[in-house]
Amino acid sequence: MPVLPARLQALIEIQRRHDAAVASEDARAVFRINQAFHHELFALTDNAVLQQAIGEYARRTHPIRFGTLAAAAYRERARQEHWAMIEALREGRRDDLVALCRRHLLPSRDAYLAAEKARGQ
């Protein structure tokens, strides 16, 4: 970090498509483009093993993650967080990026825990 502008540009282009999908309220497109954003984000690690592990866990959690994207407020929150991640990458703010990524996962985690609790009752 900071990420070279040429490598960051692909992430920015994906995020612009994500912005358009959020604006058009197309939850399916938001989900697909969100996947592309995270794939490109994790590709910046240049660690194929880590990318494969993240991809597998992402695949396993698709139903939960899609559920959170059904809410317009969460789609907007995710959009804003993506731009904050891009800025942290651009500026080399590793600690901020880590905190942003953790916070970004909370809605999906909370949805999963709520679903598990409801299933157990």
CATH of the domain at 91: 1.20.120
- Domain range for 109 is 5-120
Q: What is the pTM of this model?
A: 0.85
Nearest to residue 82, comparing CAs of 4, 12, 25, 10? Answer: 12
Mapped onto helix, strand or coil, the DSSP state of residue 24 is coil
Q: Say how many domains are in the chain.
A: 1
Alpha carbons 106 and 84: distance in angstroms, whole number: 16
Per-residue pLDDT of the chain (121 residues; tens, 9 = 90+): 888 899 999 999 999 999 999 999 998 899 899 989 999 999 998 899 998 998 888 787 777 766 667 778 888 999 999 999 999 999 999 999 999 999 998 887 787 788 778 888 6
